[in-house]
Structure 1
Amino acid sequence: MAGDGLFERLKASCPAEWAAYTRHRFVRELGAGTLPQACFRHYLGQDYLFLIHFARAYALAVYKADTLEDMRRAARSVSVLLDTEMSLHVRFCAGWGMTEAEMAALPEDPATIAYTRFVLERGMAGDLLDLHTALVPCVIGYAEIGAWLAADPQTRREGNPYLPWIEMYAGEDYQEVARGAAEQLDRLLAIRGGEGRFDLLARTFRQATVAEIAFWEMGLNPAR
């Protein structure tokens, strides 16, 4: 996602962490089709739990919003997550032999707890800009990962069980979601920001990116 907006500046503030996240071994093995299926199932189950807390974060964004439009924007995100994304995730997981009841009963992995509670804490302690800064490594990062894998000639197409996952995040629908998240970040900075805020925002962004790395690591270790 080219440009000189806040997202690109935040990403440029932690290049090593961003590369470790978006080019993680878990991601590369998805592209190669070599990721053990037990790892992917473990990731999918924890991602179900993650999405629940993601919806809570957007519900918090409704409370934190100062304008009716921001409230509506956040409420739409909650609705999409609860009414559409969760259903899509459940149907996708069914193809991997996982039921919603089974996923709902899973214990949260420490990496899931650490990441989701960090996002909620930044939203509660800070304002709407802090909350969205904690959210965008996930929202925009997955779009970047999907686009990279889809364009990479090393990505295996034939017989790759993870190709539908790659295509989902590389698809135009999700890419549009990511563009909207970047635009929202810039809009919030214009309203609530100033250069004096950048260092704290960069720290939040980096911590959320490190939490994403830990989430991939969790996926590689389903037995822990």
Structure 2
Amino acid sequence: MTFCNRLMEENLPIWEQCLNSAFLQKLGEGTLPWDCFKGYIVDDSLYLREYAKVFAWGMAKAEDMEEIRTYYELLSFVNEGEGATRLCYLERFSLTDAVIQRLPQRPENLAYTRAMIATARDGAGAAECMMACLPCMVSYGWIFTRLLERFPGVGDTPYWPLVRDYAGAEYRAACERWAAFTEKICTGLEPARERRCAEIFRACSVHELRFWEMSGRPREDI
């Protein structure tokens, strides 16, 4: 079993808790309160802004052009892929990116992004950087694929564009590329550094769970 596959398997119980969170279960059922979803889109927008900084640290510390190209691809995917759906939802809420960027991150969101940025900034290199951002990437693919299997009727709800983004073949292929890159840079790590990478992956998976739990409560400032 590869290093990345082992990490994913070890953290599946956390991802299952994410899938079973009230927010995602109600989203799948089509009963999620619109104000909770609105809060999620705002929080996700603020998260993605900080998430991009992880890739910036990765590029700054990159040892070759392959690493730089990978981080650039990740940044482009976040901006052009995930960003497009997010902006469509913001328009439905009569909100703009410029307006929401002035809002604060909620505590769970802030703790998560601070942890990722600190890991990328202070880590030894690409392995730590990818451990910080990979749980978000691959857990979204796993979660939304299973959400669609569990709730096929979600395709008839307003939440379908979000689910479609992460449950489709294009996103799955992108995750496979990023996991393959991560596997390459983590091959041959010293045991202590490998253990540290596993700790980072698990910590960020827990942050993902806290983010979904937070999203079950609407924001009070929008």
> 1:41 aligned to 35, 38, 55, which one?
38
Runs (4+) of structure 1 exceeding 6 A deviation are none
User: Do the aligned partners of residues 5 and 27 (structure 1) sit closer, same or farther apart at CA in structure 2, a change above 3 Å counting?
Assistant: farther
Could you list the runs of 5+ residues in structure 1 that have no partner in the other structure? none
CA distance in 1, matches of 2:117, 2:93: 30
User: Do the aligned partners of residues 156 and 108 (structure 1) sit closer, same or farther apart at CA in structure 2, a change above 3 Å counting?
Assistant: same
Matches of residues 1-224 of structure 1 in structure 2 within 5 Å?
A: 4-82=1-79, 85-126=82-123, 127-152=125-150, 154-157=151-154, 159-190=156-187, 193-223=189-219
Matched AA of 1:206: R
Aligned length: 219
CA distance in 1, matches of 2:166, 2:11: 23
Offset from partner CA, 1:101-137 (integer Å, 9 cap, x none): 3322221111111111100111112121011011111
Deviation, 1:6, is: 2.2
Deviation, 1:218, is: 1.4
User: Do the aligned partners of residues 184 and 160 (structure 1) sit closer, same or farther apart at CA in structure 2, a change above 3 Å counting?
Assistant: same
Percent identical = 27
Query: Is contact 1:129–1:188 with CA below 8 Å preserved after alignment?
Result: yes
CA distance in 2, matches of 1:150, 1:122: 33
SS in 2 for 1:148: helix
Offset from partner CA, 1:152-206 (integer Å, 9 cap, x none): 2x4424642212211111112211221112111111112x624443322221111
TM-score with structure 2 length normalisation?
Answer: 0.89
Query: Is contact 1:60–1:123 with CA below 8 Å preserved after alignment?
Result: yes
Offset from partner CA, 1:32-65 (integer Å, 9 cap, x none): 1111111110010010011111111111110121
User: Do the aligned partners of residues 56 and 200 (structure 1) sit closer, same or farther apart at CA in structure 2, a change above 3 Å counting?
Assistant: same
Query: Is contact 2:148–2:167 with CA below 8 Å preserved after alignment?
Result: yes
Offset from partner CA, 1:15-38 (integer Å, 9 cap, x none): 432321233222222111111111
User: Do the aligned partners of residues 223 and 53 (structure 1) sit closer, same or farther apart at CA in structure 2, a change above 3 Å counting?
Assistant: closer
CA distance in 1, matches of 2:166, 2:80: 19
CA distance in 1, matches of 2:202, 2:141: 18
Give the aligned CA root-mean-square deviation in angstroms.
2.0
Could you list the runs of 5+ residues in structure 2 that have no partner in the other structure? none
User: Do the aligned partners of residues 14 and 160 (structure 1) sit closer, same or farther apart at CA in structure 2, a change above 3 Å counting?
Assistant: same
TM-score with structure 1 length normalisation?
Answer: 0.88
Query: Is contact 1:146–1:169 with CA below 8 Å preserved after alignment?
Result: yes
Deviation, 1:84, is: 5.1
